[in-house]
Amino acid sequence: MSRQREMITLALRSTEKQYDYEAPTRLQGGGWDEEGDEDGSWANRRTADRSFRRFFKKFQQVVESCDVLLQVVDARDPLGCRLTQLEQTIRSTYGEDRKKIVIVLNKVDMLPSRRVVDMWIHYFQSHENIACIPFSATASGATGQSYAHELFKQLRALARGGGSEDRKSIVVGVIGYPNVGKSSIINALKRKNVVGVGNMPGFTTGNTEVELRSDIRIMDCPGVVSPGEDSGDVVLRNAVRVSDLANPFAPVQRLLERCTAVQEVIDSDDEDAHHHHTLRESGVHPLAAIYGIGSFPANDVIAFIHLVGLRRGRLSKGGQVDEEATARMILSDWNDGRIAYYTYPPKVDDIFTRSSHDYKALRGRLANEVSSAKDEEAPQLVSNLESGITMDGLPVFHLRLSTASTNAHNRKKKWIHQYHAEEELSEQDTDEEL
């Protein structure tokens, strides 16, 4: 058993760099054979890099062709899904006026309350100075029409530009990570299935153009996953198939780190926040509560997997826990939505840039081994566990511990209907205005 733990720990340390090249290749459907995957040979890395360059060429074509870019993010983890570096590249290359960027918070129906939605909209619009629109591609009826109406209204405002009332034709590009719902949004705006959708990452493999209105064309492109991204975060965004993972332990380790119980109750009306506070006081990890297991050493991924495997009966021959199968099961639970979660936006005081001296000083004090040389100009959040920010600058995952309540689903439906009560439009009225 100790030998197995040593091997898994070694794999955790070595998988990160290999996976930087693996993710784009998987998404392109190329993949590595098992022998090449284990060897991590330079030939395979060059193949993966060429695959990524071919994919990125399609992405560049969309950016070049579009006037407006809708960056779709998962409303449960907007900062984790944001293409920050690509945003900066687009702005520095084309300028603010030539390429307008709008953040689309998709899947807002999976958030626990209207307050969380409003907090994220306020964060992006007031503190990031970027337009932000809530959306739910799965919403139907008047609610779905309201989402589409608000998004079209934003596009019309951008089409007019400069305050002119005369509309002009615009081309809209839809970008984002795999599986955030880009194609589903296009179908919702068109009100029929014109773009194929699938729950598996990498479903969209080529650029697609659709005419939404006589003056609005929209382009879809494959999801963006670039070399150099943290492999754990990529997997937790459901941007890579769990079955394709060479090593599932690193993403589970990342999940443990980002699910640390928050110390501060941000929303006094949030029942989940109070559950988290109770767990923290008792020293229980939120995922232990989700899986109904005992406590384990902080961030000890092997101990966590072992307890979950025992609980779920994931045993191999001889009665030993099948740790790899258990790790894959945990990741599948996460990506398939069996573990409900969301995040809060950071406080404004927690926001710095990596180029700032304040950020570098704090980062160095918190972790001497962390270098500030990489991606120095990328927007980053200061590590601040008191407000639910991880060392890597991303909000902690706030698990929906209260969803076991029989009223949880009804509460969610209630806030969604209230959110649109004043905006309900008939299909005829919406068409006339648009």
Q: Could you read off the pLDDT tens digit of each residue along the chain, which spans 434 residues?
A: 555 555 555 445 444 444 333 433 333 333 334 444 444 444 545 555 555 666 677 788 888 888 999 999 999 999 988 988 888 888 899 887 888 999 999 999 999 888 899 999 999 999 889 999 999 988 888 888 889 889 988 888 887 765 555 667 889 999 988 889 888 898 888 887 776 444 444 444 456 788 888 888 998 887 777 655 656 788 898 888 898 888 899 999 999 989 876 655 555 556 777 777 788 788 889 999 999 998 999 889 999 999 999 999 999 988 899 999 999 999 999 999 999 999 999 875 544 443 344 444 544 544 444 344 344 433 333 334 445 666 567 888 888 876 544 344 444 555 555 555 545 544 445 455 45
Query: Is residue 336 a contact partner of residue 242, using CB atoms and an 8 Å limit?
Result: no
Residue 367's contacts (CB-CB under 8 Å, 6 or more residues apart) are 383, 391
pLDDT at 74: 95
- Which of 161, 192, 220 lies at the terminal end of a domain, its last residue? 220
pLDDT at 29: 39
pLDDT at 348: 56
The CATH number linked to 156 is 3.40.50.300
What three-state secondary structure class fits 3?
helix
Q: How far is residue 152 CA from its own chain's centroid?
A: 24
Q: Does residue 113 fall inside a structural domain?
A: yes
What three-state secondary structure class fits 212?
strand
Distance CA 58, CA 100 (A): 19
Q: Does residue 210 fall inside a structural domain?
A: yes
Q: Does residue 93 fall inside a structural domain?
A: yes
Q: What pTM was computed for the model?
A: 0.74
pLDDT at 375: 43
pLDDT at 374: 43
Query: Is residue 112 a contact partner of residue 342, using CB atoms and an 8 Å limit?
Result: yes
pLDDT at 421: 53
Q: Does residue 173 fall inside a structural domain?
A: yes
Q: Does residue 90 fall inside a structural domain?
A: yes
Domain that holds residue 365: 348-383
Q: Does residue 239 fall inside a structural domain?
A: no
Beta-carbon count within 10 A of 368 CB = 8
Residue 282's contacts (CB-CB under 8 Å, 6 or more residues apart) are none
| Number of Cα atoms under 13 Å in the Cβ half of residue 32 | 25
Distance CA 249, CA 331 (A): 9
Q: Does residue 137 fall inside a structural domain?
A: yes
Q: Does residue 143 fall inside a structural domain?
A: yes
Same domain assignment for residues 358 and 216: no
- Which of 220, 241, 266 lies at the terminal end of a domain, its last residue? 220
Total structural domains within the chain = 2
